[in-house]
Structure 1
Amino acid sequence: MAKATILTVDDDPGVSRAIARDLRRQYGDRFRVLRAPSGDEALEALRELKLRGDPVAVMIADYRMPAMNGVQFLEAAMDLFPRARRVLLTAYADTGAAIDAINVVDLDHYLLKPWSPPEENLYPVLDTLLELWDTAPDPDAPETRLVGHRWSAPSFAVREFLARNLVPYRWIAADEPEGTELLEAAGLTAADVPLVITTDGKTLHAPTEAELAERVGLSTSPASDFYDVVVIGAGPAGLGAAVYAASEGLRTVLVERSATGGQAGQSSRIENYLGFPDGVSGAQLTDRARRQAARFGAEILSATEVVAMEAAGAGRVLRFADGTSIGAHTVVLATGVSYRRLAGAHLDSFKGAGVFYGSASFEAANCRGDDVYIVGGANSAGQAAVYFSRYAGAVHLVIRGPDVARSMSHYLIQQIQAVPNIRIHTCTEVTAGDGSGHLEKLTLRDSRTGTVSTVDATWLFVFIGAEPQTDWLDGLVARDDRGFVLTGPDLPAASSRSPRWPLTRAPYHLETSVPGVFAAGDVRAESVKRVASAVGEGAMAVTLVHRYLEAQ
């Protein structure tokens, strides 16, 4: 295969020669470096590369160019090479435009001119982007195919599982000729969706998550029967714990019942996480963390649900839904939370058929030109509103309170105010939904006036509060009245029905009522619901794991 290309576009000959020289010096042995003096000529070069089947890894475009600026070029180039990483080269005065371009072309990075010394300001950025490009799924490689209906809840469940686990797949509608042919070849009808065809040609009819995970290459069975630490839940807290535990030599297994990333993994863009000034999507952050944990030696089990935990002397036994079990010296509970259902709106029958809990950002292209309704006033809802505004005809943000200032970050409020097709409905509730086979209408109620209105709506995304899934811990681990896990100094506040701390020593800060079992992230009572704090608690839990093991 030909070398992949790094393409630079700049109308200033001096800048063009300089960046090409620095790139060839560092990457010339592995990549072909091309430069073009304008967006039009660069697009022509990309078309030739496309015809020859040559890959493009990175495109670097100057913002200020005549006829076609850098953002316009990158937007056009995305259609030719969607996998290529995108960088905007800009002067300090244009950083505002560069930040705006993040949402227009899903910009990966912007570089300030001059970038000298390249060892500090250019190469580290390119190293990260080239690694991301190299590990991203190749759309030309054999892919998993999913045949389903747009408004089929089981089809949506499979689609969500594949997307959130970053498994490349191609969606094929059951009523398209290709979908009909594949169903007939498998001996099925359009009523039998979903149908999954794996890369090796095997078919799966309406598979469970465990069956699907096993067939697409995700690990579902532990390699050992005993570990130093078992981390339950692969959101930011669990991933943080797995990275630190494995990097410090502990035998570590990370167990996730659905998909890595948790709620953060569904976010279209996280912009207030330390170290990512241009923002990062939840999927990108999750992928990096998962690969980092695996590189340090942590095992990662997908579609594996823990249903019980038992104390066995100094060890802990965890039982899975399939009847198997593993043992460990310590456990980190990082199961996070789930979005709360809309009470009283009778929307359960439309889940996956127009009603979605969380972002489901892979549905964005299907919303093109439609009205999208988003319920919730916190950051996750705001991020979804900004993201879907790129596709939808209008985005309606529905909140119960008088404004979003108390629940949403200031930077996000400013972004929303700058997007013309986002409308905020304050003091408003969704009271009902209606439709035949899928969501078609919503009933809204204004709590100030009592006015009830019915609107046409086929897309509803819900982000209203969260609740922990901790019923399986009942009777073993102390929880508060809402089900959040109590730790450290909060343990004495446990109700009389909850287990109390059994040892003479005080519990460690993140330690639950069971010695050696720790809680981190959103599942912990009184935790700060932020990605950064969850990662920090995951790392802190590992420090306390070491302290616990040393005392045994």
Structure 2
Amino acid sequence: MADPAILTVDDDPAVSRSVARDVRHRYGEHYRVVRATSGDEALGALREIKLRGDDVALLLADYRMPGMDGLQFLEAAMDLFPLARRVLLTAYADTDAAIEAINVVDLDHYLLKPWHPPEEKLYPVLDGLLEAWQAVPRSPAGEVRVVGHRWSAPSYKVRDFLARNLVPYRWLLSDDPEGERLMAAAGVGPDDVPLVVTAEGKSLVAPGPAELAAEVGLATAPAEEFYDLVVVGAGPAGLGAAVYGASEGLRTVLVEGRATGGQAGQSSRIENYLGFPDGVSGAQLTDRARRQALKFGAEMLSTRKVVGLRMAGATRLVEFDDGSSVAAHAVVLATGVAYRMLDAPGLAELTGRGVFYGSASTEAPGCVDQDVYIVGGANSAGQAAIYFSRYAKRVHLLIRGDDLARSMSRYLIDQLDRNDRVQVHPHTSVVGGAGGEHLERLTLCDARDGRRREVDASWLFVFIGAEPRTDWLDGVLARDRRGFVLTGPDLLVEGRRPAGWALPRDPYHLESSVPGVFVAGDVRADSVKRVASAVGEGAMAVSLIHRYLEAQ
């Protein structure tokens, strides 16, 4: 494959030459710099690069261009190279428009013109973006291709797994000519999909997560038998614990059953996280945290389901579903929570075929000019409504209460109020669904008068509360009646320490009923369900682990 490309587009010839010259001077040894003077010309160049099977690392587009402006170009370019980092070149007068547009094209950065000296105002920004692009897992050559049916739950699971683990892939329908050619070459028929063809040309028929992870380059087996710290769960709390544990010298391994980021990783835009005034997508935040943990030496394991926790003296053993285990001095449980299933007739069998739990971003392009229904009134539902409004004809947000004020942040409510594609339906719940190959109809009920109505619908995304799913800790750690793990002062009953507690001190603030096992994030009883607090608890757990280890 040729060197990855950096593409610049500006309709002013002098500026176009200037930016290309500065970029080539710094990055020309390892990147191919492509220059265009219009959005159409730039898209043509991107299509040629795509057909050749080459890659694009970075896109720099001027904001004001005739015909197709920089934002329109970057939005169109996302369809060709979604992983390319995107930068908007703008004048000072257009700064507000650039900031407002960040939600539209998921900009990575905007740069004010002129950027001289480039050593101070251009290169540091591009260095960081290119480093981020290089760190995203990708095939050593070529690309992963997935062949499946449009309304196939197994096909959706494969695509969702790859997307959430930041593995680039190409999606082909089984009745497309290229999809048919791949199935014929692999010796499989339409009933055998999903078919995954790796970059090396290996065919996987309906692979499970562990097999798929191993074949696309994700680590699934621990490199060592014993660590200082095992972190279970790779959401914000787990990533925070891994970053701080590894950066402070602890041999740290992070274990995740599905994909890094947790529920936060599925958020299209997090706008109230400290240090990101223009917002950041869950995928971007997860990617940065993952790279940060790896930089400090943390090890990451994917598709490992933890089913048990056992104590052997001062050692803590985390047990996997295949019978293996990994040992450590201390454990941080950051398993988060899972969305509750919507208990309505006809929906269970349509999961993955029009009914989705959480924000299935891979499905958004299929919602173009259609109605999308979202159930839930918290921030995750609001973020999803804004995201899907970019594609759907109309987004219907169904909530049980009078309004969103009790459960959603004000900034999201204000954005929804300004979005004419989003309609909020108070006192409304889904009481049924029906369809053949996929979801076709929903039955809605108005709680005020009990009236029911049917609506045509192919898309339903559910964000209703959360469950900790900690049954595997039954009899091991103290939990509250809902299954959330109790820690610190909550373990003391009338000043008495929990049963079996042998240490001559009270449990630390984030420590569970077993010494050396700490809990962070949403799975902890009475925790604040916010990304910032989860990251903070992950970091705080590491500080408490140092105190625990020093006393051993």
The alignment's TM-score, normalised by the length of structure 2, stands at: 0.91
Alignment match, 1:546? 546
Alignment match, 2:189? 189
Question: 1:139 deviation in Å?
Answer: 8.8
Question: 1:117 deviation in Å?
Answer: 5.8
Alignment match, 2:396? 396
Alignment match, 2:329? 329
Note the alpha carbon deviations across 1:209-244, whole angstroms, 9 max, x for none: 222222222222112111111100111111111111
Question: 1:294 deviation in Å?
Answer: 2.0
SS at the partner of 1:440? strand
Report the CA distance shift for 1:113/1:500 in structure 2 as closer, same or farther (over 3 A): farther
Alignment match, 1:292? 292
Distance 1:79 1:182 in 2: 22
Verify: 1:279 aligned to 2:286, yes or no.
no
Question: 1:265 deviation in Å?
Answer: 1.2
Note the alpha carbon deviations across 1:51-84, whole angstroms, 9 max, x for none: 8887653333332345543323434555665543
Question: Are the equivalent residues in 1 in contact too, given 2:141–2:199 (CA < 8 A)?
Answer: no
Alignment match, 1:263? 263
SS at the partner of 2:222? coil
Once the two structures are overlaid, the 10-residue window that deviates more, 504-513 or 82-91, is: 82-91
Question: Are the equivalent residues in 1 in contact too, given 2:148–2:194 (CA < 8 A)?
Answer: yes
Once the two structures are overlaid, the 10-residue window that deviates more, 465-474 or 415-424, is: 415-424
Question: 1:23 deviation in Å?
Answer: 4.3
Distance 1:140 1:110 in 2: 30
Once the two structures are overlaid, the 10-residue window that deviates more, 31-40 or 272-281, is: 31-40
Report the CA distance shift for 1:483/1:83 in structure 2 as closer, same or farther (over 3 A): closer
SS at the partner of 2:270? coil
Alignment match, 2:315? 315
Whichever residue aligns with residue 283 of structure 2, its letter is A
Alignment match, 1:424? 424
Once the two structures are overlaid, the 10-residue window that deviates more, 93-102 or 361-370, is: 93-102
SS at the partner of 1:268? coil
Distance 2:39 2:419 in 1: 27
Alignment match, 1:102? 102
Report the CA distance shift for 1:44/1:213 in structure 2 as closer, same or farther (over 3 A): closer
Whichever residue aligns with residue 164 of structure 2, its letter is R
Alignment match, 2:441? 441
Distance 1:185 1:29 in 2: 38
Alignment match, 1:489? 489
Note the alpha carbon deviations across 1:133-165, whole angstroms, 9 max, x for none: 334466994222322222222222222222212
Alignment match, 1:69? 69
Verify: 1:237 aligned to 2:242, yes or no.
no
Alignment match, 1:204? 204
Once the two structures are overlaid, the 10-residue window that deviates more, 510-519 or 184-193, is: 184-193
1:23-42 counterparts in 2 under 5 A?
A: 23=23, 26-27=26-27, 29-31=29-31, 39=39
SS at the partner of 2:228? strand
Question: 1:460 deviation in Å?
Answer: 0.5
Question: Are the equivalent residues in 1 in contact too, given 2:376–2:462 (CA < 8 A)?
Answer: yes
Question: Are the equivalent residues in 1 in contact too, given 2:331–2:516 (CA < 8 A)?
Answer: yes
Alignment match, 1:407? 407
Question: 1:331 deviation in Å?
Answer: 0.3
Question: 1:89 deviation in Å?
Answer: 2.4
Question: Are the equivalent residues in 2 in contact too, given 1:491–1:501 (CA < 8 A)?
Answer: no
Alignment match, 1:151? 151
Distance 2:229 2:492 in 1: 26
Question: 1:275 deviation in Å?
Answer: 2.6
Report the CA distance shift for 1:193/1:24 in structure 2 as closer, same or farther (over 3 A): closer
Question: 1:504 deviation in Å?
Answer: 2.4
Distance 1:138 1:312 in 2: 40
Whichever residue aligns with residue 545 of structure 1, its letter is I
Question: 1:420 deviation in Å?
Answer: 1.9
Question: Are the equivalent residues in 1 in contact too, given 2:7–2:58 (CA < 8 A)?
Answer: yes
The alignment's TM-score, normalised by the length of structure 1, stands at: 0.91
Question: 1:401 deviation in Å?
Answer: 1.1
Question: 1:17 deviation in Å?
Answer: 6.7
Q: Which runs of no fewer than 5 residues in structure 2 stay unpaired? A: none
Question: 1:285 deviation in Å?
Answer: 2.0
What is the aligned-residue identity percentage?
Answer: 71
Whichever residue aligns with residue 473 of structure 1, its letter is L
Question: Are the equivalent residues in 2 in contact too, given 1:521–1:534 (CA < 8 A)?
Answer: yes
Verify: 1:167 aligned to 2:167, yes or no.
yes
Distance 1:50 1:317 in 2: 47
Distance 1:412 1:518 in 2: 33
Q: Which runs of no fewer than 5 residues in structure 1 stay unpaired? A: none
SS at the partner of 2:280? coil
Question: 1:407 deviation in Å?
Answer: 1.6
Question: 1:383 deviation in Å?
Answer: 1.2
